[in-house]
Amino acid sequence: MTTAADTADTARAGATAPSRLAPLRRFARGYAARPGGVAGLAVLVVMIAAALAAPAFIHPSDLDVINASGPSLAPPSLRYPLGTDQPGRSVLLLTIWGARPSLAIGVIATVCTIAIGAVFGLLAGHFGGIVGRVLMAVTDWFLALPQIVLAISLAAVLGQGDASITIAIAVTTWPQTARIVRAQTLAVEARPFVERAHALGAGHRQVMIRQVLPNVMPLILVSSTLTVSGAILTETTLQFLGLGNPTDVSWGGMLNQAIEQGAVSDGAWWYLLPPGIAILLVVLGFTLTGRAIENVLNPRAGTR
């Protein structure tokens, strides 16, 4: 038999359960109110969906130079909507497939960048003193170096391949994240609840993981979405310079091959524009998404 107390407990449980999703709902409503963020997210969803679904409708033979059966540098037509490259492969299929390595390297490099920068920033902001000064000195040293030149040098030393490009991007882009996380960590460390945690005997690891990190995570999320666009641009640059895997199809590699195969002198604009526009759309999508997230989490940022 159900008692009045059980009914009251059930009603309270039902009332408190939705409240856990209230912050997520507020974030979704705030994000949906920003057309730029919605447009950027839509572009990313389409690009990522096409990249993930590419193996379902693109056969490896479609990307093979030896098995190419189309005319060389043919302009756009019904059979080849974006024309063909010099060996006779469809530029449309190459562009869709090229999103896979470009997005994968950009995202993986961003994860590595955020991880390194977050660790440096948290440690420097939490401990301060000589530890903070040493960590920030290392950070400033990396910031003083030309990022793209250092990335090219590292990728050249490590050798051609996606792994070398990923490492080069991560090593050269983490200092910005470290600076941002350190500043936010200092602000969080000055709040009363952190002082109470110290007073109750909480250790450094407990304070950083349970008190500071959850309050820094929104900033790390915003930084990650904005970092992906820069990582993709750097990846494209390194691929364009021939530092990537020569057997992979990527947007930067397509631009490199288009230049080397004389697409400019032959007037084959359809070979150059698709990968360039794809890069522009993805970078714009991540940038708009990151700005929208930043404005939702920090409304004052949108008024500056």
The structure tokens listed for 103 are: 């997005």
201: CB partners within 8 A, 6+ apart: none
Distance (Å, rounded) from C-alpha 62 to C-alpha 71?
Answer: 13
Given a cut of 60, whether residue 179 has pLDDT beyond it is yes
What would the mean pLDDT of 195-215 be, rounded to a whole number? Answer: 80
- What is the pLDDT averaged over residues 207-227? 84
What pLDDT sits at residue 53?
A: 94
Q: Which tokens in the block code for residue 50?
A: 């096409």
Q: Please, which pLDDT band fits residue 136 given cuts at 50, 70 and 90?
A: very high
The band of 304, judged by pLDDT with boundaries at 50, 70 and 90, is very low
Cα 146 off chain centre by: 21
Residue closest to 95 by CA, chosen among 289, 282, 284, 285: 282
Question: Which of 64, 205, 73 has its CA nearest to residue 127?
Answer: 205
83 φ/ψ angles, rounded to the nearest 5 degrees: 80, -170
pLDDT at 18: 53
Q: Tell me the mean pLDDT in the region 171-181.
A: 90
Mean pLDDT value of segment 156-164: 88
Residue 265, amino acid: S
CA–CA dist 294, 286 (Å, integer): 12
Q: What are phi and psi of 285, to 5 degrees?
A: -60, -45
Using only C-alpha atoms, what is the Rg of the chain? Answer: 24
Residue type, 45: V
SS3 sequence of 171-187: HHHHHHHHHHHHHHHHH
Which of the pair, 273 or 262, is modelled with greater confidence?
A: 273
If we measure between CA atoms, which residue out of 227, 278, 284 comes closest to residue 54?
A: 278
pLDDT digits (tens, 9 = 90+) for 53-92: 999 998 888 888 888 888 888 899 999 999 998 888 999 9
Look at residue 303 and tell me whether its pLDDT is greater than 80.
no
In total, the chain counts a number of residues equal to 304
| Mean pLDDT along residues 173-199 | 85
DSSP β-bridge partners for residue 90 = 84
For 28, 249, 300, the CA distances from 303, given in Å and listed in that order, are 20, 42, 5
Nearest CA-CA partner of 278 in 57, 44, 37: 44
Amino acid at 71: P
Residue type, 200: L
pLDDT at 51: 93
